[in-house]
Structure 1
Amino acid sequence: MKPHLPARAIVFAYHDVGVRCLRVLLDAGVEVPLVVTHEDSPGENIWFASVAQVAAEHGLRCVAPADAHLPELLAEAAASNPDFLFSFYYRHMLKAAWLNVPRCGAFNMHGSLLPQYRGRVPVNWAIIEGARQTGATLHRMNEKPDNGAIVDQCAVPILQDDTASEVFGKVVTAAEIVLARSLPRMLDGTAAERVQDLSQGRYYGGRKPEDGRIPAQASAPQIHNLVRALAAPYPGAFCRIGGRAIVIDRTRLVGLSQANADGSLRLLCQDNAMWLHAADGSMLNVLAAHDSDGPIDPAGFERRFAGRSVSVEI
C-alpha cells in the first residue's frame, strides 16, 4: 500500500537509536503527529540522548505515558490517519491495538542481525557469547517480539576488545543507515520484505546487575567477553573477595595459561600487573578494576588484599 504524500508516522522512540531514527524521518519530510517515549528512570544511568528533547526542538507533540495503550491515546493516533508506526528502541511491547492503527504497517528497529539475538539487550548478549558481528534490522511488527518480516539490515563488526558501548555506537549508525536507505522504498510502496528463518536464532531475556557476577568455572576468554559486555556505562562484571564486590572494568586476552589448573578463580598481582587466574588455568590481564573504596591497581594490591594472590568467593 502506497502512502499519500507527505507520509505521516506515529513514532515510539527512546535512547540514541530513537533520536537518530526520528531525525531520519524528519529529514525525509515525514510528518510526525505524535511521539511516544519514556520518562527517564531516576535510578538509571542516563548516558544516552533524549528523544523528548529532539521532539521539543521540532515542535512535535511528545508524551511519555506509563501505559501506552490508553484508549484516548490510541484514539488520538488513529485520528491523525498515520501511514506508518515506527518503534525505535521503545522498551515496551505494543499490542495489536497499536499495530492496526497505521495504514501501511508498523515497523521496529532491532539491535541485532535478526533472527539472531531476538529479545532483550541484544548487543550485550552478542558480546557475552563472543559474536564477531552484529547490526541493526528494520522489520515489520506483529504481536510476537522481533518476529516479523525483514525490510533491511546492516552489519557491523565486533572487535576482540570492543565494549558494549562501543558496539552500540556502531549499531546506532547502522540503524540510521538502514532507515535512511529503506525509507524511500517504504514511502513509494516498493519495499521488499523477507520472512525470518527463526531457526537461525533464539530469544534472550533481560539482564540485571547481579547477573554480572563472574562464574567460578569461566575461562579467561569467557570472562573477557563478560567484562567488555558489562563495562561502563553498564553495571559491570564483578567477583566477591572478602565479602566485597570487586568490579573488573577492563581486561586483555594474552593467551597465557598455567599448568596448575586447580579449579579456582583467583585474582593476583605479579610483574607489576594484575591477573585473573581462571579455573581451567587460563590467564587474563586485568587492566582496570575497582571496589567501593576506589580503583584497584598493582601498587596498592598487596595492601588492599593482604597478599599478592587472593581466591574469589564462589
Structure 2
Amino acid sequence: MTQPRKRAVVFAYHNVGVRCLKVLLAGGVDVALVITHQDSATENIWFESVLSLCETESIPYLTPIDAKGADLAEAIRAAQPDLMFSFYFRHMLPQAILDIAPAYNMHGSLLPAFRGRAPTNWAVLHGATETGATLHEMTVKPDAGAIVAQQAVPILPDDTAFEVFGKVTVAAELALYHVLPSLLAGSAPRTPNDLTKGGYFGGRKPEDGRIDWTKPAQEVYNLHRAVAPPYPGAFTDVGPRRYVIERARLQNGNVQGLSPGLAVVDNAILGVCGDGRALVIHSLLADGLRISPAELRAQLAEGQA
C-alpha cells in the first residue's frame, strides 16, 4: 500500500532556501505553505528568490513581518503539516509554532561550531579550514537541537565568504537530499548537539568591516575575505574618503619602512599591516568607484598636504 505524501510547511529564504525547497519537492514532499521574506530595498540582493520559486511551482506563500503573530500560527495549523523546515529563514520561531509539528533547521556550519548568525562569515574571519551545513531539530534556543545530518566542505586559504557560501549551499542540498528518505520514514539518526563546544556568534553590521591596520596581516586578510563583495567589504577611512577592498591577496614576505595603512609601491596598492606584512590590493574602491594606483597616490598625497 502506497504511503500518503508527507505535508510540510517550509520557512525559507536565500540560496539555501531555494535549493533545499527544491530537494523537498524532488523528494515527493507535499509543500503546503512557504513562509518567506520580501526582499529589502536597502539590501544588496545577490541571491536567489524563494518567492519566485513559489510562484513558479504554484506553492502558497506568506511574507509576514515577524513570526510571532497568532495569525501566522493559525495559517500553519490550517496547513496541517506533518513536518516543518527552516532553511535560512531570518526570524526565530516561537514555541507556539514549534509545537505544531516536528521542525528541522538547516544551519550553515558544522554544529556545534559557529552557532548563531552569519556562520560562514564568522568561520572565514576566524581562519577556519572547514565548515559545512547541519540539519538539526529546532528548539526555541537557536542551533541547539539534536543533529540529524551534516555535510562538510573545505575553506581554502584564499576563499572569500561568498565563495564558501556557494559550497555551503551545495552542502545543505546534499545533507538534506541524503537524509530526507529516512527523515520522512521516521528513522533519521539523532546525534546530541554538544553546546559545551563551538561558540555562539551574533549578527554582523557593515561597520564591523573597519580595518585596523595595526593587526597582523593574516587577521586583516581574513577580515577582507569574510566581508568581500557582495558583502559590504573591509574598509578604511583616510580623510573624507572611504576606501573598500574589492579584491586582494596576502603578500609573501615583509615590506620595509612603511607605516600601517594604504600605500602605493611600484605601481601596486598595498595594505601595510602591523606585523610588517601587507595585502596586495588588486581592486580598491574609493567612495564606491574603482581607482588606480596613480589616483590613490595622488589622493594620499593630497591628504598629507
- TM bucket normalised to smaller: over 0.9
Alpha-carbon separation, structure 2, partners of 1:266 and 1:176:
41
Tell me what 1:67 maps to: 66
- Say whether 1:288 aligns with 2:283: yes
Alpha-carbon separation, structure 2, partners of 1:256 and 1:176:
40
TM-score (structure 1 length as normaliser): 0.92
- Say whether 1:113 aligns with 2:110: yes
Alpha-carbon separation, structure 2, partners of 1:300 and 1:47:
29
Residues 14-35 of structure 1, C-alpha deviations (whole Å, 9 max, x = no match) = 0000000011101111011110
Q: In structure 2, which of residues 136, 148, 172 is the aligned counterpart of residue 151 of structure 1?
A: 148
Q: Which AA in structure 2 matches 1:89?
A: Y
Alpha-carbon separation, structure 2, partners of 1:293 and 1:130:
28
Tell me what 1:56 maps to: 55
TM-score (structure 2 length as normaliser): 0.95
Alpha-carbon separation, structure 2, partners of 1:18 and 1:227:
26
Tell me what 1:232 maps to: 229
Q: Which AA in structure 2 matches 1:97?
A: A
- Say whether 1:302 aligns with 2:297: yes
Alpha-carbon separation, structure 1, partners of 2:275 and 2:228:
24
Tell me what 2:218 maps to: 221
Alpha-carbon separation, structure 1, partners of 2:80 and 2:261:
62
Alpha-carbon separation, structure 2, partners of 1:238 and 1:11:
37
Deviation (angstroms), 1:56: 1.0
Query: Does the Cα contact within 8 Å between 1:224 and 1:284 map onto a contact in 2?
Result: yes
Alpha-carbon separation, structure 1, partners of 2:128 and 2:84:
31
Query: Does the Cα contact within 8 Å between 1:256 and 1:284 map onto a contact in 2?
Result: no
SS at match of 1:55: helix
- Say whether 1:180 aligns with 2:186: no
Q: How does 1:118-267 map to 2 (within 5 A)?
A: 118-258=115-255, 264-267=259-262
110-119 or 222-231: which moved more? 222-231
SS at match of 2:80: coil
Q: Which AA in structure 2 matches 1:194?
A: T
Query: Does the Cα contact within 8 Å between 1:148 and 1:196 map onto a contact in 2?
Result: yes
Query: Does the Cα contact within 8 Å between 1:78 and 1:101 map onto a contact in 2?
Result: yes
Alpha-carbon separation, structure 2, partners of 1:46 and 1:138:
25
Deviation (angstroms), 1:82: 1.1
Deviation (angstroms), 1:293: 6.2
SS at match of 2:196: helix
Tell me what 1:7 maps to: 6
SS at match of 2:179: helix
Residues 224-274 of structure 1, C-alpha deviations (whole Å, 9 max, x = no match) = 11111111111110011113211111211122214658xx52211112211
Deviation (angstroms), 1:220: 0.9
Query: Does the Cα contact within 8 Å between 2:153 and 2:167 map onto a contact in 1?
Result: yes
Q: Which AA in structure 2 matches 1:268?
A: A
Aligned-residue sequence identity (percent) comes to 50
Alpha-carbon separation, structure 1, partners of 2:220 and 2:283:
14
SS at match of 1:16: helix
Unaligned runs of 5+ in 1: none
Query: Does the Cα contact within 8 Å between 2:209 and 2:234 map onto a contact in 1?
Result: yes
SS at match of 1:82: coil
SS at match of 2:48: coil
- Say whether 1:274 aligns with 2:273: no
Q: Which AA in structure 1 matches 2:293?
A: P
Q: How does 1:77-116 map to 2 (within 5 A)?
A: 77-102=76-101, 105-116=102-113
Query: Does the Cα contact within 8 Å between 1:151 and 1:194 map onto a contact in 2?
Result: yes
Alpha-carbon separation, structure 1, partners of 2:215 and 2:252:
15
Q: Which AA in structure 1 matches 2:263?
A: L
Alpha-carbon separation, structure 2, partners of 1:17 and 1:293:
29
SS at match of 2:181: helix
Alpha-carbon separation, structure 2, partners of 1:69 and 1:79:
16
197-206 or 171-180: which moved more? 197-206
Deviation (angstroms), 1:180: 0.5
Equivalent pairs, count:
302
Q: 1:293 to 1:127 in 2, by over 3 A?
A: closer
SS at match of 1:257: coil
